[in-house]
Amino acid sequence: MNLPQGPKTGTTLYALTNEFLSRRYSFEELMRETARRRLGPGLEIVGFQSIRGFPQVSDAFADRFRQLTRQLGLTPSSLAINADQEIRRGQLMSEDEMVAYHEPQIRAAAKLGLPVARYQYGAGPEVIRRLVPLAERLGVRLGLEIHAPHHANHPDVLKFRDMYAQVRSPFLGWIPDFSSTARTVPPSFLKFFLAKGVPQKLIDLAMQTWHETGDAMARMTRYKEAARKSGFDEVQFNELSLVFPMFGREDPRSWLELMPEVVHVHGKFFGFDAAGNEEAIDYAAILPLFRDSGYQGFISSEWEGHMYSNADAFQMIERHQALCRKLLAA
């Protein structure tokens, strides 16, 4: 059961990547199982992952999607769209091309009844500025996903914040991803690398460097230099370097600066400790910030376990939402 006021629970189908790519569930079956397990009511989908032929959306698909959400008691919350600025080998798309690439994706969100389009940094502030009139006409809010290694005061984010301040449109917003405000690297992620044969000493080096001061990319460079100097296998230390861009260490209170313009939230999670708490992200510190600031939108449960685990994603989402409900009600 969701609280009548405050943040509401939901699921992004991206969290069910293993179930979808293994063909155990079709797109429609994912929706049905999400509803059956009461993992909504919010439903986020990923355009290029979920819809064949995206960004073109047929009338039949749109009608069926709208019918299913009503029938299943799900509330369309967000459509994840792509920038893909490097889709051509060796040549970036121009600004005009980027605008043209985003337009049909935003139209798809409107056609499907999804009120938010999650966009990516690669779009750039000027492209998004040019897309605001379209978003306003269609009633689709554009939300920049702020995912590690970015954070509320990262230079890349500040460029968008400056543009937002100039345009002042209620259709521009933010989508915080809790990966930016982790307190450590998930132990389950490290166990995966250990099981692959990565030496414990290399993992210890990565963790020592991850906890040092400095920008995430600078720490990653220091880690790689130290690993190379110590003679570790280059493939192994490069793979393990994912811990730096994937898990940020910013203070959860940094989200408060963006709160008035938050349009959706990615409740990123990785695993749970013996007490049922998220193993790397301090949900007890983060969720009250959103609740007490008056955020009324959806928090989509987003598990990225497909990168390192074959666990049942539905069960993981159930545990995540139980934790969220408990903390939001406290």
What the chain holds in terms of domains, given with CATH numbers, is: 8-184+247-329 (3.20.20.150), 187-243 (no CATH)
pLDDT at 322: 97
Q: Are 111 and 137 in contact (CB under 8 A)?
A: no
pLDDT of 22 reads 94
Alpha-helical segments (H) within the chain: 17-21, 27-36, 47-50, 59-72, 95-112, 125-138, 155-167, 187-195, 200-210, 216-229, 234-240, 243-246, 283-292, 313-329
Catalytic residue among 102, 147, 266, 306: 147
Quick one: how far is CA 206 from the chain centroid? 24
The full DSSP string for 217-247 is: HHHHHHHHHHHHHTT--HHHHHHHTTHHHH-
| Residue 147 among the catalytic residues | yes
Position 3 scores a pLDDT of: 39
The answer, yes or no, to whether the previous bond of 55 is cis (omega within 30 of 0) is: yes
pLDDT for 5: 75
Its pTM stands at 0.96
- Percent helix, strand, coil in the chain (nearest 5)? 50, 15, 30
Among 175, 177, 181, 152, smallest CA distance to 280 is for 181
Can you give the pLDDT at residue 37?
A: 98
pLDDT of residue 1: 39
Say whether 91 sits in a helix, a strand or coil.
strand
The distance of Cα 159 from the centroid of its chain, to the nearest Å, equals: 20
Give backbone dihedrals phi and psi of 23, rounded to 5 degrees, phi first: 65, 20
Q: What is the pLDDT along the chain (330 residues), one digit of tens a residue?
A: 343 478 999 999 999 999 999 999 999 999 999 999 999 999 999 999 999 999 999 999 999 999 999 999 999 999 999 999 999 999 999 999 999 999 999 999 999 999 999 999 999 999 999 999 999 999 999 999 999 999 999 999 999 999 999 999 999 999 999 999 999 999 999 999 999 999 999 999 999 999 999 999 999 999 999 999 999 999 999 999 999 999 999 999 999 999 999 999 999 999 999 999 999 999 999 999 999 999 999 999 999 989 999 999 999 999 999 999 999 998
Nearest Cα to Cα of residue 174 among 200, 204, 153, 196: 153
- 72: number of Cβ within 10 Å: 18
Amino acid code (one letter) for 48: F
Under DSSP, is residue 176 helix (H, G, I), strand (E, B) or coil? strand
